[in-house]
Structure 1
Amino acid sequence: MASFHVPEELNATAPPERRGIRRDHVKMLVLNRRTGFVSHSSFYRLDEHMKEGDLLVLNASRTIPAVLHGEWRRGGVVLGEGTEVRLARRRDDCSWQALVVSTEFRPLPGDSFAFKPLLSAEVTAEVTETSSQPLVTIAFSLQGARLTDYLYAYAEPIRYEYISHPWELDYYQTVYASAPGSVEMPSAGRAFSWELLFKLKRQGVRIAYVQLHTGLSYIPEEGGHPDPRNNFEQYEVPKETADAIIRTKKEGGRVVAAGTTVVRALESAAGRDGEPAAGSGWTNLMIEASTPLRVVDGLISGFHEPEASHLEMLSAFIEPGLLYDAYQEAIAYGYLWHEFGDINVII
């Protein structure tokens, strides 16, 4: 896909609710994946573009606050007082891969970070592995539910430079999220309201869920977006979802994924013969223009930056030239980008 430029004023800096509209009233650009025909609407009218027998698949992963600030220590020396540590992906009950934001030092094994106190005791994390720089592995002094509770109490949501205000965590959640684990919101589903989901169900659209915990998508030291093949994310496709897909395909319906995370989970779990299957594990699946889609027929997505790997995935749904033309039209019509922005439906 040819490169394009997104004007700064099209970066959504605030949630729709703080811009005076409901979350499901963001703008929606509908793109026919076969012809490239574009139509303009609002997301609450999604039901006009789906039909009885279709299956909508949502990512139930819930966003956790993943930014901590602490004292960086090396031996008896303090390297930084309020160093930012961004959690990237969970490794086990107490360990995370993380990005230590610093222009002066590189973390070394044995370095430690002391964070805000919990019941008067210091919470610490020690660097245990550095071979995946700029990401390092850190082991917390807390584990399991205690660590999750601590993050919800003291950490902040990941916020990039186009977001000028520290919006509360609730703004970074989908209405149906249930399983904590994503460090960045699976944002394509943010525009759904319960009213819209109920309207779709009344229309005869089935709804199913997967779980994929999103990792850190932007790493400054790598020039921006890392290669998805280096970005392992944890996923689960339940049996009831796989069964619903099989039934939908058999009856001639379409499987529509709410977000690139859902596409990655479903295509990762599919059997070698392309048959929809239940499964769980870690995926580094790279989906691009040449990748055959074996499960998903349509996509609900936000608008992605030119260098984002998510944009490569969109090229698996539609010829890149048609996608480029649609994005140029979105820019001309003032669609908003990023997690608080507008929606693109490719179907």
Structure 2
Amino acid sequence: MDVKDFYYDLPQELIAQDPLEDRSSSRLMVLGKTSGEITHRRFSDITEYLKPGDCLVINNTKVIPARLYGVKEGTEAKIEILLLKRKENDIWETLVKPGKKAKIGTKIIFGEGLLTGEVVDIVEEGNRLIQFSYEGIFEEILDQLGQMPLPPYITHQLKDKNRYQTVYAKYDGSAAAPTAGLHFTPELLEQIRQMGVSIAEVTLHVGLGTFRPVKETDVLKHHMHSEFFQITKEAADLINQTKENGGRIISVGTTSTRTLESAADEHGHLTEKSGWTDIFIYPGYQFKVIDGLITNFHLPESTLVMLVSALAGREHVLAAYEEAVREKYRFFSFGDAMFIKPD
């Protein structure tokens, strides 16, 4: 399977740089999973495609303001750090720019000493382990000093940090937002509940692997970064019950999808579970849990386009993307949405 099989031509001006004022007013392309039929709607019309007895699965992870700017002790050289994974004893795996300035033993000062870090090890791909020192609560200091780690294709910082969070974000830990969920408002979620659709919450802390390009020509040689997930007994029971009763599982986002498909047994049954997943879903994959998917429009040749193609077929997906370009949909994190609906 060649990575070029998942290429499409995207004009730069269609990459959304800012979120819409009203989350649910983005456009919605509805794509028939097996028919490939396309309908153009607004996101708030999603209610017309859900049925009583369905279960909507959302990822309640919260993005941390993981980008920090500091100076190297002694030289005052500027250093940028991105927090990737929390380890024990205030140690984080980080991405450091420029890396050559961050040898083991290097001390970095943030916010005039409010936070300091020391490079204690170098790990795979040149990432650094940094041990932080501070007084008070780390999360509060991070909120004060950190910036949202927006994707590389977004060229400016947000006026309001919360626009890169879903309205149901609960648990700190992501380096990127589960962006399909950005379209929901509390009012829309309440409307969905009132229809008799249940909502199950799972957690997957999104890593920067989300933006990692597939560098291998042969897709099958690509290795996914691992990400932490958690499914509660309550969520597992709700999803299992929905399936037993003939309801459909509609996943909000590729992260919710990867969580469910990682945790399920071969019959699609879920139990309470947590751990790390590096599941890579591409065409040929047989889905065990989900029936439909709400997602955004993803980067050409990305693992996310491959996941969507596994669900709706590569030809249907690429034809839909070409139509989205013609119709001037907004692409990527702050862009419009697609619903792959069960036919």
Is TM (by shorter chain) over 0.5?
yes
Instruction: Show the counterpart of 2:139.
Output: 148
1:282 Cα deviation from its structure 2 partner: 1.4
Instruction: Show the counterpart of 1:81.
Output: 77
Map 1:317-332 onto structure 2 (within 5 A). 317-332=311-326
User: Which of 13, 16, 23 in structure 2 is aligned with 1:12?
Assistant: 16
Measured in 1, the distance between the counterparts of 2:106 and 2:245 equals 57
**What percent of counterpart residues are identical?**
34
Measured in 2, the distance between the counterparts of 1:258 and 1:61 equals 13
Counterpart check, 1:188 vs 2:180: yes
1:230 Cα deviation from its structure 2 partner: 4.1
Instruction: Show the counterpart of 2:235.
Output: 241
SS in structure 1 of the partner of residue 167 of structure 2: coil
Instruction: Show the counterpart of 1:101.
Output: 97
Measured in 2, the distance between the counterparts of 1:220 and 1:14 equals 23
1:164 Cα deviation from its structure 2 partner: 3.3
Amino acid corresponding to residue 240 of structure 1 in structure 2: E
Measured in 2, the distance between the counterparts of 1:221 and 1:39 equals 30
Going from structure 1 to structure 2, the CA distance change for 1:36 and 1:99 (only over 3 Å counts) comes to: same
1:320 Cα deviation from its structure 2 partner: 0.6
Instruction: Show the counterpart of 2:126.
Output: 134
Instruction: Show the counterpart of 1:115.
Output: 110
1:45 Cα deviation from its structure 2 partner: 0.6
Measured in 2, the distance between the counterparts of 1:158 and 1:284 equals 21
User: Which of 251, 262, 272 in structure 1 is aligned with 2:256?
Assistant: 262
Going from structure 1 to structure 2, the CA distance change for 1:290 and 1:110 (only over 3 Å counts) comes to: farther
Measured in 2, the distance between the counterparts of 1:7 and 1:62 equals 31
**Deviation per residue, 1:29-66 (Å, 9 max, x gap):** 01111111111100001011111111001111111101
SS in structure 1 of the partner of residue 279 of structure 2: coil
**Deviation per residue, 1:126-181 (Å, 9 max, x gap):** 222223123222221249x8211111111001134443331131111111111111
User: Which of 150, 154, 164 in structure 2 is aligned with 1:163?
Assistant: 154
Instruction: Show the counterpart of 1:205.
Output: 197
Do 1:175 and 1:194's aligned partners in 2 also have CA atoms closer than 8 Å? yes
SS in structure 2 of the partner of residue 180 of structure 1: strand
Instruction: Show the counterpart of 2:33.
Output: 33
The number of aligned residues is 331
Gaps of 5+ in 2: none
**Deviation per residue, 1:250-304 (Å, 9 max, x gap):** 1111101111110111111112543222201111111111222111111111110
Instruction: Show the counterpart of 1:55.
Output: 55
Taking structure 1 as the reference length, the TM-score comes to: 0.89
Measured in 2, the distance between the counterparts of 1:170 and 1:222 equals 32
Measured in 1, the distance between the counterparts of 2:7 and 2:151 equals 22
User: Which of 336, 339, 342 in structure 2 is aligned with 1:345?
Assistant: 339
Taking structure 2 as the reference length, the TM-score comes to: 0.90
Measured in 1, the distance between the counterparts of 2:87 and 2:285 equals 28
1:90 Cα deviation from its structure 2 partner: 2.2
SS in structure 1 of the partner of residue 137 of structure 2: helix
SS in structure 2 of the partner of residue 256 of structure 1: strand
Measured in 2, the distance between the counterparts of 1:94 and 1:220 equals 30
Going from structure 1 to structure 2, the CA distance change for 1:128 and 1:4 (only over 3 Å counts) comes to: same
Gaps of 5+ in 1: none
Report the structure, 1 or 2, having the larger helix content: 2
Going from structure 1 to structure 2, the CA distance change for 1:155 and 1:105 (only over 3 Å counts) comes to: same
